[in-house]
Amino acid sequence: MIQRAPEALDVQLAWWTQMPISPNYNVALRLTDANGRFLRLMDAQTGYGFQPSSLWPTGEWVNDWLAIGLPPEEHEFPYILLAALYDARDPNTTLLLRRLGELVPGEDGLVFRPTEPVFTLPEGIDPVSAVFGDVIRLEGYEMEQSGDQLDITLYWRTLADGRDDYMRFVHLVDTAVSSQPIIQDDNRPQNGTYPTGQWAKGEVVADKVTLDLTELPAGTYRVGVGFYPVGGEALTAVDENGAEVTDGRFWLPFVVER
């Protein structure tokens, strides 16, 4: 449950575990702009230390009330609210990440909209088909190159309810020289704000990626995309003909000229 206060968001989270937890985890709230840049951060022990995760009862809901301050309305909307659970001994390891919703301007100030899945593709996109690990299918894309910037929007459809959290990669490669990316964007989809573990079966996720071409030498380049688990190998990928592609990297059907 999210409630809008004058200068903050009051957030109620509900935790549930089916087995005892030994470590005491920390909870984090993150507020980003539309490009994934952090605007506000909040970290605390669960229950502000009064409900440590090591004492959570199994098979019961545990409520956790938190608050995060609001930034000035001077950044690109929407503002995106994330919640995370991590081990305080290793803050770089995220155990759970969820996108709660977004803040948008309204008549009386910022309005919170909870995250809701979308199941239809927009009209006018370029169709394409590739399946990654039998769990995610690429169904289309949009591409625009303007000066030193390349904007690509990828449209993913989930083939099963999300359970695992994958990193998405977009690689710009000079295939005539090497298979190594010259420019890349490796992140969770939607600028790190929408983990695949949250996706619903059949959901369509629009994932915009912007690559800076300022330092890119003259030449002809290809763009390859795919997924991998954190610290793992790329998911197996097959094209529209059912043929497996090398290194789990599916090449989009266009070239980038400089």
The model's pLDDT over 50-85, given as tens digits with 9 standing for 90+, comes to: 899 999 999 999 999 999 999 888 888 999 999 999
> How many domains are contained in the chain?
2
The answer to whether the beta carbons of residues 119 and 13 sit under 8 Å apart is: no
pTM strictly above 0.75? yes
Task: Clarify whether residues 218 and 197 are in a common domain.
Answer: yes
Task: Clarify whether residues 194 and 220 are in a common domain.
Answer: yes
CA distance 189 to 31: 16
Task: Clarify whether residues 108 and 132 are in a common domain.
Answer: no
Task: Clarify whether residues 10 and 133 are in a common domain.
Answer: no
Q: Examine the fold and report which residue of 114, 143, 161 is the final residue of a domain before the chain moves on.
A: 114
Q: Which domain holds residue 232?
A: 126-257
Per-residue buried b or exposed e for 137-149, using 16+ beta carbons within 10 Å of the residue's own CB: bbbbbebeeeeee
Q: pLDDT digit string (tens) for 169-180?
A: 999 999 989 999
Q: Examine the fold and report which residue of 80, 114, 148 is the final residue of a domain before the chain moves on.
A: 114
Task: Clarify whether residues 76 and 162 are in a common domain.
Answer: no
CATH of the domain at 189: 2.70.50.60
Q: Is the pLDDT of residue 4 over 70?
A: no
Task: Clarify whether residues 139 and 18 are in a common domain.
Answer: no
Task: Clarify whether residues 106 and 200 are in a common domain.
Answer: no
Task: Clarify whether residues 39 and 101 are in a common domain.
Answer: yes
CA distance 201 to 195: 14
